Amino acid sequence: MNDSQYNIAAENILLAVEEAIEDCGCDIDYEGVGGMLTLTFKNASKIIINKQAPLHEIWVATKFNGHHFHFENEQWLDKRGGDELWHFLSNAVSKQAEQAIVLTAQ
């Protein structure tokens, strides 16, 4: 993947996460600025999702830990455990929102 392809894929995933949060029916605030998306929950915890352009990765920092995702076979995969980004985000958002939430790309 070249830099241009990465930037398009990364921007698309950040926008898709914003849309998924908007559509999930849970009270989660979000703000996207300069390649970084911050989700803020009622309990004041946050999840930060940001582009790491030099590495062609998406980094996700939760209340519990941080994960690095790389693009492979048309999906973003966790370099540590192999989890797919949408599955990981659904679990992380559910924990921090303290209710079951499933996030999917539209």
**Cα–Cα dist 25/43, whole Å:** 17
Amino acid found at 50? N
Mean pLDDT of the region 78-105: 91
Band of the pLDDT at 99, cuts 50, 70, 90?
Answer: confident
**Cα–Cα dist 34/98, whole Å:** 28
* CB-count burial class (<10 Å; 0-12, 13-18, 19+) for 34: exposed
Residue 15 has pLDDT above 90, yes or no: yes
pLDDT tens string 28-76:
999 999 899 999 999 999 999 999 999 999 999 998 899 999 998 889 9
What is the set of domains in the chain, with CATH numbers? 3-97 (3.30.920.10)
Sheet holding 36-40, edge to edge: 29-33, 36-40, 46-52, 57-61, 66-72, 75-78
SS3 call for 61: strand
Residue 106 has pLDDT above 80, yes or no: no
Q: Does the global pTM surpass 0.85?
A: yes
What is the predicted pLDDT for the residue at 76?
94
